[in-house]
Amino acid sequence: MAAVDSFSLLLREIGRSCNCYMETLAFIGALYTAKTCFTFANDTYTLIRLHFIPRLISRADLVKLYGKWAVVTGCTSGIGKSYAKELASHGMNIILISRNKEKLEALAKEIVDAYKVETAIIVVDFGEGREIYPAVKKALMGKEIGILVNNVGVFYNHPDYFANLTQDKIWELINVNIGAVNMMVHMVLPGMVERKKGAVVNVSSIFCCQPTPQMTAYSASKAYLDHFSRALHYEYAPKGIFVQSLIPFFIAADSKSKCFFVPSAEEYAHHAVTTLGISKRTTGYWLHSILFLLGQYIPEWLWAWGSYRTGNSLGKEATLQRLP
């Protein structure tokens, strides 16, 4: 009995001495639970405010808010093409910039016929580097540029190791994904600042939220666009300029490849334009926002593991393809 009594006494003493630690742990747990609930409630509110409320009110007058002309780069297919048409549906005149003259002319005619606005085209290859920009700047002179959409980009067709890329392809990726955005913004910002209004939309990617092996240069360039946009917004928001980092997930190439989380380019652009002036950093589409939240909270090692698995399933031969 003495041994039993001693053991019971020992347990009580241990419990008494650990009581303060248990209270501390319970307090920390309560704080973590409260933080998680607050974050979830805030994210839910943001989702509703950004993606659903704007659809219930009248469409914004983008011409009045920002200016008469919009510039869209990489605009002959995909998000760029649909974004240009969506802006035209709001009554904005459109300057289309890409490297394919025939596709530019066809899109310009389509926009004029459908929306009765003015259009202009600029044929340039952003992969050629700094030599192209004096001609672009000259072509933009005299236009009241209200919105700039930097959509042009280079991406990996198939994941591969960085050392397997050629130097020409690496420079192409830098010139197009990074250089084009910097130079286009640098050209249009002074006019926006002078008028004290304007908007810049830089199209990043879901791959900006985590380092992505076998898409190393691509994901890094998209992370650059995201950080560049966010910092630029802090610099120029006081001057009346709205800068948005647009972070899409996958977009369907055609109507047959659409699914729940993969909208068509037209559907995506329609949603994305409604976030303009509301959110400086958004996926542009409510279902993509859910995926983005998941992507941010996935452990980095798990994201990297998934990247390797994806790369191995797609094959080890990598090429880079220019968006039109």
Burial state string for 192-207 with b = 16 or more CB within 10 A and e = fewer than 16: beeeebbbbbbbbbbb
8 Å CB contact between 214 and 311:
yes
8 Å CB contact between 229 and 202:
yes
Query: What DSSP line would sit under 58-119, residue for residue?
Result: PPP-HHHHT-SEEEEES-SSHHHHHHHHHHHHTT-EEEEEES-HHHHHHHHHHHHHHH---E
Which DSSP category does 302 fall into?
H
Q: Count CB atoms within 10 A of the CB of residue 78.
A: 22
User: Which tokens go with 30?
Assistant: 């309560």
Q: Give the active site residues.
A: 218
- Give 244's strand partners: 201
- 180-195 and 216-236 helices cross at what angle (nearest 10)? 10
Query: What DSSP line would sit under 10-52, residue for residue?
Result: HHHHHHHHHHHHHHHHHHHHHHHHHHHHHHHHHHHHHHHHHHT
Please tell me the distance from the alpha carbon of residue 320 to that of residue 4, in angstroms, as a whole number.
75
Please tell me the distance from the alpha carbon of residue 46 to that of residue 281, in angstroms, as a whole number.
12
8 Å CB contact between 119 and 94:
yes
Question: Between the CA of residue 134 and those of 72, 256, 287, 293, what are the distances in Å?
Answer: 18, 41, 40, 40
Please tell me the distance from the alpha carbon of residue 110 to that of residue 119, in angstroms, as a whole number.
10
